[in-house]
Amino acid sequence: MLNLALAVIQEHAPAAQEHASGPLTVEGGLMIWTIVVFLLLLAILRKFAWPAILGAVEAREQALERQLAEAARDREQAAALLAEHQKLIAEAKTQAHGILVEARGVAEKDRALAIEKTRHEQEELLARARREIVAERDKAVADLRREAVDLSLAAASRLIEKRLDGDTDRKLVLDFLATLDDRR
């Protein structure tokens, strides 16, 4: 076949030389050989190159699909993690608010207890001061009575010119002073 093609080309070669050649001239033999070479090249490419190219394209397509699936899965995981993170933040805020409320309650209780304790201590101090005042007053009254008795005895002994010093005399004056307190 190749020999036949060469023979055809050689026969038409002198005729082709006789015709004017240019870019717009159509040469039948050249066109046939161009088509034959193109079909032969197409058959070779289809047998050897096309499966490799198609395999590479399919592998690239599968890799892209796999990457898209991984990206979708990662996006879902990120959304789930974000939702969980937001849930944890909400729980932390709720717990913090609860702790603050509890702390305020405890502080109010402590404040109320401190106020109550202070008030109780004030009442105790006031009661003790009152008791001490009453005791001091009673002591002062007793001291005054003793002095009054001593002065009365001294005055009476001067009056009667004799010294009254006995316990019976003292009892007599105390009884008299007690009758004076009853009259008031």
- Retrieve residue 140's tokens: 């002062």
Q: Are 145 and 177 in contact (CB under 8 A)?
A: yes
pLDDT-above-70 percentage for the chain: 78
Q: What is the pLDDT of residues 117-131, one digit of tens each?
A: 999 999 999 998 989
Q: What is the pLDDT of residues 12-57, one digit of tens each?
A: 555 545 555 677 788 888 889 999 999 999 999 999 988 988 999 9
- Predicted TM-score (pTM) of the model is 0.39
